[in-house]
Amino acid sequence: MKQLIIATHNKNKLNEIKALLDPLGIQCLSLDDINWVDEIEEIGKTFFENAMIKAKTVAKQTGIPTLGDDSGLLVDAFPGLLGVRSKRFSKEATHDANNALLLQMMEDIENRSARFMSDVVLYFPDDSYKEYIGTVEGAIARDYMGENGFGYDPVFIIKETGKRMAELTQKEKNQISHRGRALHKLIEDIQNETIVI
């Protein structure tokens, strides 16, 4: 079976990616699966830079193709405030604290437009790579809803459906989410043999 390392310790993210790539006969290994203990500093100023840092670092050390992803929330009312700092938005840097701070800051704001963006980099040990970008438009709600997902999913209303991201099943989310959309472009390339893992 073909192997691909997913440069993450995040089990939610790993499960999302595995659900899409497993049917292609690709074994997805997390950093935990390969006993990776070194910290990879995400010092990039863009999603692409951080995805590249993760994918390249792991692929070069392991000799196995590696997928790095950096994703986040972009809020029109606060340009430049979240983005690559989405995970570390609040001082506690937890999902609950991040959501609470965002809702508090947006309490009196009318323009609630926002989007999730994902930049996925597939890096090969020969120093070649492919980049895939996915976005989903929406708005920031005024409360929490939904039991699924993670991060900002309970406060993000998807423009196309009017549902919260956290209301979707794993399968539904993989079809519509920013990461899902980026990965579907990757899957097309694998199926068309534009890239070979």
Which positions are catalytic? 70
Residue 151: other Cβ atoms inside 10 A: 21
User: Helix 11-21 crosses helix 178-191 at what angle (to 10 degrees)?
Assistant: 30
For 140, how many CA atoms within 13 A lie in the half-sphere containing its CB?
A: 25
Cα 135 to Cα 196: distance, rounded to the nearest angstrom: 25
Distance of CA 167 to the CA centre of its chain: 18
Pairing of strands 26-30, 2-6: parallel
17 within 8 A of 9, measured Cβ to Cβ: no
**Residue among 12, 19, 161 at smallest CA distance from 95:** 12
Q: Are 156 and 73 in contact (CB under 8 A)?
A: yes
Burial class of residue 177, CB neighbours in 10 A (0-12, 13-18, 19+): buried
